[in-house]
Structure 1
Amino acid sequence: MLRPNDTDSVPLSEFSFERRFDERGAIEWMQANWSKSFVFSALYMTLVFGGQLYMKPRPKMSLRRPLVLWSLCLALFSIVGAVRTGSYMLHILGTSGFRRSICDQSFYNGPVSKFWAYAFVLSKAPELGDTAFIVLRKQKLLFLHWYHHITVLLYSWYSYKDMVAGGGWFMTMNYAVHALMYSYYAARAAGLRVPRPFAVLITSAQIAQMAMGLTVTGLVYRWLQQGDCPSREDNVTWAALMYLSYLLLFSNFFYQTYLRRCYADTKTSKTE
């Protein structure tokens, strides 16, 4: 871990709200309340599948303007989060190296990053609202979508309370990918024509995120055995299962959406 005077020397400008943020109180609150993530998940599942039944005999809603506003707000939040956590991550990498960027806990209590670490885990609850637009607009609800939302919420709340190793990488990558993803959603909802390669880029970034998540998890397990990478074997197990399932699901989505469809289009054009 970084010593207190090490975090004070981080050469990054802090906003006043970042400086005043009480990370100790946040961690204590999460230690006492992290299990509420199961309540949110159960309520989410009830509303999602109950909502689908409710909407089945009813016409779909447009909700274009609310969707633009929702996606734009999450895009801006993710962009700022990616910049702030990314700047801190680059500082740790530049001054202390790759191993310390994974095993160090200062991401949870260091300047700049401590606020955004807590904001990240809390944001996983309101992000469940993404699915409301799918249900009310009667779009196809993928298993990948709701499974990903629930498991990220459960794992992030479960892990934050223990300040486990690897969290800095997990959060920074997620902020960065969500910055791209929600920007894309906002543009599409606003009726803008977004080139197809941008969608391919987002899914590719998600697959790369899951592969890196597995790599970081494996390194945490390896270094945990040496006693200087704070985590627990049960946490590592859940992280490995989560990232592996994500990697398989996003890779399948990429194949079904881009590769298989491209092959089908090519085959059709040749027979015409």
Structure 2
Amino acid sequence: MKNSTLLQLQRRPFGWTFDIPETFSNFEFEELDYFYWHKLIQSNSKWAFYAGALYIVTIFGLQHYMKNKRALELKRLLFLWNFFLGIFSIIGFWRTAPEFVYVISKPGGFFNSICVKSGTNVPLVFWTIVFAFSKFLELGDTLFIVLRKRPLIFLQWYHHLVTMIVVWVVAPLVEPIVRWYVVLNYGVHSLMYPYFALRAGGVKVPHSFANLITTLQLTQMVVGFGVNVGSMLIQKSGYECARYDSSIKAFAILYGSFLILFGKLFYDSVLKSGRSRRKEKIL
């Protein structure tokens, strides 16, 4: 490990204690100047709002432009896009999940995982920073929908927009609870994007797998909303919990709205359509 990284760990960056066993090794490229990247994100919170405004203008402007145009296929590019994001998500999950499991499995694991600044390691820090930047990249998902003239539903563009803004604004707070959101998101995306890649490549994937992804997405929102409320209740009970009011409110809005939207998606695509298919088989 580089001397600069060792020095940063000794300085307990942002109040964190790095107390993960040495068996959780890290790659050299994961050893960053945490203070530089923290300052960059903290001093440029406006980037998310600028990107969000550009995103809205672009997708709806393109949608209007494509109204009388022929839809673009883009199958090969779509496959590569989803394949790349799938591999990225799998690696992100692989590098962040061990720290999460280690912390949550220890005595008082749930409380520590959302309230105490300890247990983190170099891979988690690196892939959390990359996670924040990746939310800008994922806006590209919507461009494929518009250019291919597929239905652009509210959930699709809203969840990309709100996630990017909340993640970018809250990231500088360096809260323990973020490990939940990072690991859950990487985990679901490690299945979702490969599924999209297979679909783009013309591979017929069982409908049950699509239902599984939708179920996992809803589960992610339920858990995300639950741990946010849990941390708030812990604070109100008089215990110390490393959460900020602004973050609690931001995640309450994000996961609260996602619960409603993904709940409706789950009902329409899993429960309702499932009943329709069973009815067709009977008839």
Bin the TM-score by the shorter chain. Answer: over 0.9
Partner of 2:116: 104
In structure 2, the CA distance between the partners of 1:236 and 1:10, relative to structure 1 (3 Å rule), is farther
Residues 218-257 of structure 1 correspond to what in structure 2 (within 5 A)?
A: 218-225=229-236, 226=238, 228-257=240-269
Query: Is the Cα–Cα contact under 8 Å of residues 10 and 91 in structure 1 kept in the other structure?
Result: no
| Cα shift readout 1:157-209 (whole Å, capped 9, x = no counterpart) | 11111112410001100000011100100010001110111000000001111
Residue 164, structure 1, aligned to residue 171, structure 2: no
Give the partner amino acid of 1:157: W
SS of the counterpart of 2:173?
coil
In structure 2, the CA distance between the partners of 1:263 and 1:94, relative to structure 1 (3 Å rule), is closer
Give the partner amino acid of 2:260: L
| Cα shift readout 1:217-271 (whole Å, capped 9, x = no counterpart) | 012112334352212122212211211211111111111123222333444566x
Partner of 2:192: 181
Residue 93, structure 1, aligned to residue 107, structure 2: no
Query: Is the Cα–Cα contact under 8 Å of residues 211 and 269 in structure 2 kept in the other structure?
Result: no
Give the partner amino acid of 2:140: G
In structure 2, the CA distance between the partners of 1:264 and 1:3, relative to structure 1 (3 Å rule), is closer
| Cα shift readout 1:130-158 (whole Å, capped 9, x = no counterpart) | 00100000000110010000010011011
SS of the counterpart of 1:56?
helix
Name the CA distance, whole Å, in 2 between partners of 1:15 and 1:24. 19
Partner of 1:116: 127
Give the partner amino acid of 2:252: A
Name the CA distance, whole Å, in 1 between partners of 2:220 and 2:162. 16
Q: TM-score, normalised by structure 1?
A: 0.92
Displacement, 1:11? Answer: 2.6
Name the CA distance, whole Å, in 1 between partners of 2:34 and 2:106. 23
Residue 3, structure 1, aligned to residue 17, structure 2: yes
| Cα shift readout 1:59-91 (whole Å, capped 9, x = no counterpart) | 000000000000000000000001111011112
SS of the counterpart of 1:125?
helix
Identity of aligned residues (%): 36
In structure 2, the CA distance between the partners of 1:12 and 1:249, relative to structure 1 (3 Å rule), is same
- Work out which of the residue numbers 143, 148, 153 in structure 2 matches 1:132: 143
Partner of 2:274: 262
Unmatched tracts of structure 1, length 5 or more:
none
Name the CA distance, whole Å, in 1 between partners of 2:170 and 2:100. 19
SS of the counterpart of 2:240?
coil
Query: Is the Cα–Cα contact under 8 Å of residues 214 and 266 in structure 2 kept in the other structure?
Result: yes
Displacement, 1:116? Answer: 0.2
Give the partner amino acid of 1:258: V
Unmatched tracts of structure 2, length 5 or more:
1-14
Name the CA distance, whole Å, in 1 between partners of 2:281 and 2:240. 58
Query: Is the Cα–Cα contact under 8 Å of residues 221 and 236 in structure 1 kept in the other structure?
Result: yes
Name the CA distance, whole Å, in 1 between partners of 2:241 and 2:177. 9
Alignment RMSD (CA, Å): 1.8
Q: TM-score, normalised by structure 2?
A: 0.89
SS of the counterpart of 1:230?
coil
Partner of 1:207: 218
